[in-house]
Amino acid sequence: MKCSFPAFFASSIAVSVLVLLLHFLLQKNKAVSRFGISCFYFCVVLALLRGYLPLDFCGTLSEGENGLSLLESSLHLTKTYYLTQTAPVLTAFFRRTLFFVGEVPVNLNKILLAVWAAGTIILLWRQASGYFSCKKELTKMSRVEDTETMAVFHKIFQEIFPRKENRCVVVRSDLIGSAAVFGMRKPMIILPNAEYSNRELELVFRHELFHVKHKDYVCKNLCGLLAAVHWWNPIISYLFPKVMVQAQELLVDYCVIKGRKPEEKLCYLECIQKTVKHASAKKTRKISIAALGNGDRKRDVLQRFQFIIAQNVTGFTWKSILIGCLFFVLSFTFVFEEVVYPEYDTYGDEVFYFVEGESYYIKNGKRFDLYLDGRYVYTTNEIIDDFKNLPIYEEEKK
């Protein structure tokens, strides 16, 4: 098991494939209904977990007496596809020095790495600043002290968390424009300035407390973090958060209306519709969080309505769980790595190239082992004039 750039790249491909499959499944209401709402969300969480496991489980390539060979490892799950044609050409292209900053050579590889790091830092900064800005404004909001409203809240809280201490805070604000949950350790239940009946309040609180129970705020933030790291991949940075939010809303809706009578489902539909209209009329939303009236995409809201009305929606099946686990395991079964075979001149001698940062000496007693491009060349008694400026290390670089 190891973590490396090829493994990171493979995890990006794997998450993209999983998200595309989930997105395709999400377009088919009947398929999601048969697959199971809970199982669908379970698979979304597995896709998220895959992004945080940029690992491969395979042997490693080494050079022996008979050429390249694969070292044995305890777990042979990942198959390595060694690229011997395109990858070396691309690597040489990206490593080619474009210009110097002082004495430091700059190549396309370093430029792209800097761009990726800058993009990730900017997005993480935007997420953090949005979070703290929203938190600062919400803490200024007065808590809901209406006796009747809080009585409804405590009643629903005890139903969902019968043995848990209530650490939630209920505030009223149009900062989000919709009923929503904010925070993890001490969740804030945000009520918009919309007129809800006690019956509707029960449904609103039930919806938001199921978000708290499922730890949806945590999962959504983890998805946002993954999207920031993979900002260059539109499937992860743009599509994955949308699939995550819709999966969360479908599961919460299913939990709210499970076992409910038709008139209660109708009341829930009217409650969502009222919240969507109120949220659409408000332009104060500053960050995107899981919300009851998340009406950014009408198709998503319409899909929620269809599942609420549907009579035979499946929640959980072991078959679907096994299918999700199978795809999760299969996502670890490939990784791409570059292989550069030795190059020889017309006399049959191996050719070595000097690469800045990958060429150095290693002290070997009173002698020196010369490495060019990270590969051992030979051992010399003294520093060679042509390579006198290379760094000298006491032990081999890791």
How far apart are the C-alpha atoms of 30 and 37, rounded to whole Å? Answer: 11
Rounded to 5 degrees, φ, ψ at 295 are: -105, 30
Domain residue spans in the chain? 2-142+193-336, 345-393
Amino acid occupying residue 61: L
Q: For the whole model, what pTM was predicted? A: 0.78
Query: Could you list the pLDDT tens digit for every one of the 398 residues in the chain?
Result: 556 677 888 899 999 999 999 999 999 999 999 999 999 999 999 999 999 988 766 654 444 444 434 444 445 566 666 655 555 666 667 677 778 888 778 888 889 899 999 999 999 999 999 888 888 888 888 888 889 999 999 999 999 999 888 899 999 988 877 888 998 888 999 998 888 899 999 999 999 999 999 999 999 999 999 999 999 999 999 999 999 999 999 999 999 999 888 899 999 999 998 888 888 776 554 444 444 444 457 888 899 999 999 878 888 899 999 999 999 999 988 777 655 555 556 666 656 666 666 778 888 888 888 887 666 777 888 887 777 778 888 765 54
Find where tokens 């002082």 sit.
102
Q: CB–CB of 368/383 below 8 Å?
A: yes
Q: Is the dihedral of CA 149, 272, 253, 225 positive or negative?
A: negative
- In sequence order, the 6+-apart residues with CB closer than 8 A to the CB of 97 are 105, 106, 107, 356
Rounded to 5 degrees, φ, ψ at 359 are: -120, 135
How far apart are the C-alpha atoms of 48 and 36, rounded to whole Å? Answer: 19
What confidence score (pLDDT) does residue 62 get? 44
Q: Around Cβ 327, how many Cβ atoms within 10 Å?
A: 18
CA angle 125, 7, 108 (to 5 degrees): 65
CA nearest neighbour of 192 among 269, 279, 131: 279
CA nearest neighbour of 171 among 143, 201, 152, 149: 143
Report the 3 state secondary structure along the chain.
CEECHHHHHHHHHHHHHHHHHHHHHHCCHHHHHHHCHHHHHHHHHHHHHHHCCCEECCCCEEEECCEEEECCCCCCCCEEEEECCHHHHHHHHHHCEEEEECCEEEEHHHHHHHHHHHHHHHHHHHHHHHHHHHHHHHHHCCECCCHHHHHHHHHHHHHHCCCCCCCCEEEECCCCCCCEEECCCCCEEEECCCCCCHHHHHHHHHHHHHHHHCCHHHHHHHHHHHHHHCCCCHHHHHHHHHHHHHHHHHHHHHHHHCCCCHHHHHHHHHHHHHHHHHHHHCCCCCCCCCECCCCCCHHHHHHHHHHHHCCCCCCCCHHHHHHHHHHHHHCCCEEEEECCCCEECCCCCEECCCCCCCCEEEEECCEEEEEECCEEEEEECCCCHHHCCCCEECCCCC
How far apart are the C-alpha atoms of 320 and 184, rounded to whole Å? Answer: 29
Amino acid occupying residue 369: D
